[in-house]
Amino acid sequence: MKNNSNIFSVNYINLIYIISFIILGCKSNENENITLQTYIKNELKVNDILYLNRFNKSNIESVCALYPYQQYISNTSKQSSRINSYLKEIKYTADEDYWSLVFIDSISVKLLKFNRSENLDILATHEIQNTHLENLPTNFKPISCASIGNSVIAKIKFNKRIYLIMGEIK
């Protein structure tokens, strides 16, 4: 009888581990379960560069930034008509309170909004000055839309405010 209770104890403990694993999941990589928004807000340090393909879990082809007050993507982007159709479909309205990243794959368009604050804002390409780029790699090029393989976000501090700059590194 004593042996059966030991078997029951071991099986019960194994069952608890299995249930815990199913409920809580398993992280093989520390950043694997962190969303892009969370990473940008909390993990990305000033003067660091984030390669956006690091968070490419699907077949995203390119990414564009929609700056505050920007209702649509200009025609300079290859994907502008698809993006603008999507923005019109979802009745996207731009204002001063937020900015967005738009991700495009062969099938869909996805929008990721960020609230603006002194701890997280974005500089549009027309606002960027040489002083904003001083601590960034020389091959960093500010751009509003880029292929996912080359797209990056740089985080800088300027006049006591934290900014992101969308760009590419080739």
3-55 pLDDT, tens digit each: 555 444 444 443 333 333 333 333 333 344 578 999 999 999 999 999 999 88
Domain boundaries, the chain: 30-169
49 contacts 140 by C-beta, under 8 angstroms: yes
* pTM of the entire predicted model: 0.76
